[in-house]
Amino acid sequence: MSNSVLVNKTLNNSFTDDPWSYYVENDTESSTVHPYFRAVQARFWIFEHYINWMCDNVELPIWPTCVSQFYESLSIINKIKHAPLCVRAYVKSIRETINEEENQNIMENLEYKYQALLKEQQNTNFSKNLLHAQTNSMSYDRATGAVNSKRQANKKGEQKRRRTDDSDYEEDIEGSVLFDESNEDNLIDSIDGLKEEAVLPISGTIANTSKQEFLQSISKKFNKYQEKIPKTRYWGIFDLTQQSLYGCTDFSQNEISKITQDFANHVHWSPQQTPDYLQQYFDSNCDPTKLKDNAMVERIHTNIQFILYNMSKKGAKTEEEHKFVTIYPLFNAFMDHSLIKDTWGETQTLCSNANPFVKACMGRKVDMKGTLIRTSNKFEALCGKVANGLSPFGISLASQKKKYLDKVKLAVLMRDSLNSILKKWKYLNDEQRKKIIVYGWTLAGFDLSLYAMDWTGNGMYRFGLIENCHLPSNKEDCALFEGAFCLLKELERKLTEMEKLIQELHAANTRGKCRKVTTENSPTLNLNGTPN
């Protein structure tokens, strides 16, 4: 940082001749202003400069915290009475213009670079990252809570007005809030009414005989069933885990079994056998002497040892801490980083198209999203949610209600990810579109569950539990890591297949448009946002 940028404190903040030399002093009125605004003259206050200063002078927090602290500080400075009027007007204009639509691409690029730097720090120093995660979650909630509630009220009012004035409301629906606390009880009806999740059956040969007729008949029934709001059917999601099908008489058990089997055949989940050298490693309670000497196995062992080290620490764990000492290093150990760009923390998906300066609405944020790097449209084929932290005894703090609602939010975001690509490709046929599958996971305590979703046409999406595994909770259970290894390596294989498919469909859509071999058409999607 050059001397011209930093304020000379001996000037006692005298800005009579030059108001732009102003900086925020240490007083009660401005005690929560970010240190950047105390160290840098007002003439340099822009978001890009703020990010550069953060990288040079402080430990980086997660992206939402970084943004909200800047935004909150501007709001406070605007109310400081002894600040120069021109400075107060300037910070007000920054707050207003930074939200404008034309600036969103700039913000997305900044976020991408920031996340890359943050991830580099995480890979080199896990402990530092955990400290950020523990302290920043609370400050983020405090900083954006009041602003968020007001903005959401304004946003809903604007969307309601547009519904009446404009029949073409697709984009507004896509950006709407999914649901809030007022809808949660209606979504569940009764916690006691939730069934245990059903896992998809083993995939078999696909019987094409009358399959199309069967799916069409199911779709017609589902459209009637969907009118019985609430529950997942409102978003067009057929919950094949059957957890929300309690008391459902619209489908026979035989019909549910048939459509579940057909979905399992489409996903075709078939984990491969663990390599011999890793079998010995897991059988020996993760003894490194049983490993071959190469970079991949070294990465596996390093991350597993990090997980085991944190298991030895006594006491409760917050959701953020649990995320970064359990599931994050697990993905880091077993997944191919050249395949997906994984982003961690409370992050918004691209399909939500949400404002980065406002806390993501319920159902519009995930704890992890995975983007297929080698796809031109950067398809988000994977997302995940962590349901609360751990008690001092290592038991999940998530209630049954929390687990279920997290699963519903995950399912709707998976649907939106599918919609984001299906509605853009208008030169494919529906059979091509039906091949696309997206994946999602939830972690509650040490239970990892993996889900899949596809689109069957007519606004219906099948959502099912592929597999679940229990992660080790103490050093003596290292053998359980083998289950996570098989699950994540099969997921990696499926994402590789999906990457190739997305590339092929993107090319097919381009050929259909440019060579006039396919008539323009739009798929029938479910774009429902907030339940009314």
Per DSSP, the three-state class of 505 is helix
Chain mean pLDDT for the chain? 78
The domain locations on the chain are: 9-161, 273-514
Give residue 234's region: left, alpha or beta (phi > 0; psi -120 to 50): alpha
pTM comes to 0.65
pLDDT of residue 10: 36
Residue 359: DSSP 8-state: P
Per-residue pLDDT band at 336 (split at 50, 70, 90): confident
Q: Using CA atoms of 450, 454, 460, 466 in order, give the dihedral in degrees to the nearest 10.
A: -30
Q: What is the helix (H) or strand (E) element at residue 347, kind and residue range?
A: strand 340-348
Question: Of the spans 175-179, 213-217, 407-411, 446-450, which averages the highest pLDDT?
Answer: 446-450
Is residue 133 very low, low, confident or very high in pLDDT (cuts 50, 70, 90)? Answer: very low
SS3 189: coil
**pLDDT above 90: residue 54:** no
Is there a contact between 322 and 471 (Cβ–Cβ < 8 Å)? no
> Do 329 and 119 touch, CB atoms closer than 8 A?
no
**pLDDT tens-place string over residues 386-445:** 998 888 877 888 888 888 888 988 999 999 999 999 999 999 999 999 999 999 999 999
Contact by Cβ (8 Å): 529, 177: yes
pLDDT at 285: 87
Which among 452, 445, 360 has a CA at the least distance from the CA of 400?
Answer: 445
What are the tokens at 140?
């983020």
User: Helices marked H in 125-210 — which ranges?
Assistant: 126-165, 170-174, 181-188
pLDDT tens column, 470-500: 999 888 888 999 999 999 999 999 999 999 9
Over 50: is that where the pLDDT of 82 sits?
yes
- Number of Cβ atoms within 10 Å of the Cβ of 523: 19
Hunting for tokens 């687990």 — which residue is that?
403
Burial of 184 (0-12, 13-18, 19+ CB in 10 A): middle
Which carries the bigger pLDDT value, residue 361 or residue 316? 316
- Statement: residue 376 has pLDDT above 70: yes
Query: Tens digits of per-residue pLDDT, 342-360?
Result: 888 777 665 555 444 444 4
What distance lies between CA 465 and its chain's CA centroid? 18
* Lowest-confidence pick of 21-25, 82-86, 144-148, 325-329: 144-148
In the prediction, which pLDDT does 303 show?
92
Q: Tell me what the mean pLDDT of segment 36-42 comes to.
A: 88
Strand partners, 347: 366
C-alpha distances in Å from residue 356, one per residue of 20, 58, 103, 109, 234:
28, 21, 11, 12, 27
pLDDT band at 261 (very low <50, low <70, confident <90, very high): very high
Confidence of residue 243 (pLDDT cuts 50, 70, 90): confident
Q: Residue 46 in contact with residue 90, Cβ under 8 Å?
A: no
Tell me the chain's radius of gyration from C-alpha atoms.
Answer: 25
